[in-house]
Amino acid sequence: MIQLDSISKAYGGDQLFESLTWKLPDDAVLGLVGANGAGKSTLFRIICGEEEPDRGRVVIPRHVTVGYLPQEVTEVHTGSVLDVILEGAGELLELEDRLAELEIKLEAADGAESEELSHVYGELQERFRRGGGYSIRGKARQIAAGLGFGDDEVDRPMQEFSGGWRMRALVGRLLLSGPDVLLLDEPTNHLDLESLEWLESYLKNYDGTIVIISHDRYFLNRLADQIAELANNTVRSFVGNYDAYLEQRDELRERLQKEREQQEKEIAQIQEFIDRFRYKASKAPQVQSRIKMLEKIELVEVPPDNTPNISFEFPQPPRVGKRVATLDGVRKAYDDNVVFDGLDFTVFRGDKLALVGPNGAGKSTMLKLLAGAIEPNTGTIELGHRVEVSYFAQHSVDQLDLSRTVLGEMEATASTEAFPRIRSVLGAFNFSEADVEKQISVLSGGEKSRLALAKMLLEPAGLLLLDEPTNHLDITSRQMLEQALQKFEGAFCVVSHDRYFLNEIVEKVAHIEAGEITEYDGDYDYYRWKHAQRVPSDDEGAELAADGAGDDASRQLTKKEIRQRSAEIRKRRDAETRELRKKLDKIESEIATVEERHGEIEAQLAKPETYEDGELTSSLNQEFAEVEGRLEELMLEWEEVGAELEKIERRYLKEEAALKQ
């Protein structure tokens, strides 16, 4: 596979690598980790050829293809989302164009020319078929859906979408291209939870080598089977996921530290002998022998512990009442898009709450309502007695004064009590002594975001509202934020796609969907487990449940009642699945017809005499391509309808099983 052979790279006086050698493993999912500035992203750019090493070489076998997803992309696209994703199938689309050109030529050709063109057409068509050309557009749409694009969005121009959504389309383009080696630099930054879990599933079944740079520990734990640590000009490999790496790394450092201490003890003893007998002629041979021994000793290198010894805590808020914030009958709509209608919701004292749900369900809208950043159309929002609110969102960077330094911005807004904490808070968010003197106008977007978050943490508040607070934090900074939130005595509501972070800090999860909120007492993993077990009900199911709710609460159903309700459940199931079953039967019938025609054309094209008639050959080849394409479309449609049918039936089976418990 790919080999890095003694590569060196420096920027100005900063030497990132010096004679670094590394071989990427075959068919592995590898997490590449290391401190900020260690050169992980630079290594990716060197591997894919975007940058050249100062010395050394990168060896990539000719047959190996490499795909690279950078953290940020400045490409300008005029096409639709689907057009951009389909760029990943460039070779197949070129084949498709060539086949179309040949079809036109075949119509006008005859004799020997027709036979030659038919032969070329057949070879190209087989390449197109083997490459999945007939189903490539369907696959592109499936990838787009997995990444969160709706059916009505994939044909919209890319320019209508935000930077985060454009990055999703570029992820889709890379996945569709299917390279042998995937280099993914922070691929989870622009994904919501549902898209993230879809991407995990896709990558688990990916045929090839994947190398991931990510601050998302949950993502690395679920995917990686190896971790490569870039530190001190070496790449050291560990077997297992991120948690296994941490354990092995600490054990290795402890073992190497003991070996180093033993070495230093032996060196001291040898040096003592040399110093003691250096000037005694009778001991000269032994002294010279020990001097040579010292020269030959190679000291064990102990990897440094790069974990910053910095921590911070939120200033604790004043004691507040039981109800921190109350939403009563709240309606919020953006034009025709109704997010909430008649919503009642309460945040209680001490709540450690995550807001989750599909993209566009209203998670960020909920935070804005609680923060007072937007007003409800109707209904009321009341904060409890003495409750102050601190709100962090990505737009918080707009409130920074670009003319100030990092330290000056913190000092300008901090109270007298908060002044002693300023530098420790900045250090916790990776601002060095030199960084704090930088003017805000020269900071990157990520640095500005970190500064806005650090600024928010200086003053006490009874309710913290955090919208994607970990987006620009490395793993160490995330851990410190986790620890601070764990110790925080007030209430907080957080929206985040970092599942590890949520598991560490929350004790309650509120799932927002279709304008309604369902609460789960527990961490994120508990929510996932419990939410997956839910039995969704339609209006009929709700009515049925309501009819016997009072009785069921106090007694078990009789066998007769179970039979009656089971029959009602099956009746509702049959009604809901009737159209899907008809559709499935229709698809299966068409598949049989198309397969039959496919076989007939294949048999005709196998006859030598067919090629004596150029017009017939052209017509058959064109029809064969159309039939293959239709067959691929039908199979995809059959799978989708079958999956939907199975999902509905599984839901009713659970509902029926619940009656007997």
Confidence at 554, pLDDT banded by 50, 70, 90: very low
- At 345, which amino acid appears? F
Tens-place pLDDT, residues 138-177: 899 999 999 999 888 999 999 888 888 899 999 999 999 9
Tens-place pLDDT, residues 600-632: 888 888 787 887 777 888 888 888 888 888 888
Say whether pLDDT at 330 is over 80: yes
Q: DSSP string covering 291-314, please?
A: HHHHHH--PPPPPP---------P
d(CA 47, CA 222): 25
d(CA 233, CA 288): 35
- Cβ-defined contacts of 446-450 (< 8 Å, 24+): 446/471, 446/472, 447/472, 448/397, 448/400, 449/394, 449/396, 449/397, 450/477
What phi and psi, each to the nearest 5 degrees, are found at residue 226? Answer: -145, 150
- At 241, which amino acid appears? N
pLDDT higher at 338 or 113: 338
Report in angstroms the alpha-carbon separations of 318 from 57, 321, 348, 387, 462: 61, 10, 15, 8, 7
Return the beta strands (E) in 45-100 as ranges. Answer: 55-59, 66-69
d(CA 402, CA 232): 35
Tens-place pLDDT, residues 370-400: 999 999 999 999 999 889 999 998 778 888 8
List the domain boundaries for the chain: 79-178, 246-296, 323-527, 554-659
Query: Of the ranges 173-187, 310-324, 372-386, 401-415, which one carries the lowest mean pLDDT score?
Result: 310-324
Q: Which two tokens stand for residue 440?
A: 């805000």
Say whether pLDDT at 660 is over 50: yes
Confidence at 562, pLDDT banded by 50, 70, 90: confident
Question: Residue 378 CA to chain centroid, in angstroms?
Answer: 36
Judge if 79-178 and 554-659 fold alike in CATH terms. Answer: no
pLDDT higher at 326 or 582: 326
Torsion-angle region of residue 330: left (phi > 0), alpha (psi -120 to 50) or beta? beta
User: Measured in Å, how far apart are the chain's first and last C-alpha atoms?
Assistant: 55
Return the beta strands (E) in 133-233 as ranges. Answer: 181-185, 209-213, 226-231
Average of per-residue pLDDT values in the chain: 86
Tens-place pLDDT, residues 473-521: 888 888 888 988 999 999 999 999 999 999 999 999 999 998 999 999 9
Q: Which H or E run includes 327?
A: strand 323-334
Place of tokens 């970990």: 470
Record: fold of 554-659 = Helix Hairpins (1.10.287)
Q: Which two tokens stand for residue 482?
A: 């986790």
User: Is the CATH number of domain 79-178 3.30.70.100?
Assistant: no
d(CA 508, CA 354): 6
- Residue 129 has a pLDDT of 87
Record: fold of 323-527 = Rossmann fold (3.40.50)
Q: Which two tokens stand for residue 649?
A: 């039936």
Say whether pLDDT at 559 is over 70: no
How many C-beta atoms lie closer than 10 Å to residue 426's C-beta?
23
Place of tokens 């293809």: 65
- Residue 406 has a pLDDT of 93
Residue-wise over 361-383: b if at least 16 C-beta within 10 A, else e? bbbbbbbbbbbeeeebeebebeb
Report in angstroms the alpha-carbon separations of 66 from 1, 8, 48: 11, 21, 6
Q: Which two tokens stand for residue 527?
A: 């929510």
d(CA 156, CA 595): 35
Tell how many helices (H) and how many strands (E) occur in the chain. Answer: 21, 18
Confidence at 542, pLDDT banded by 50, 70, 90: very low
- Residue 479 has a pLDDT of 86
- Residue 309 has a pLDDT of 60
Confidence at 537, pLDDT banded by 50, 70, 90: very low
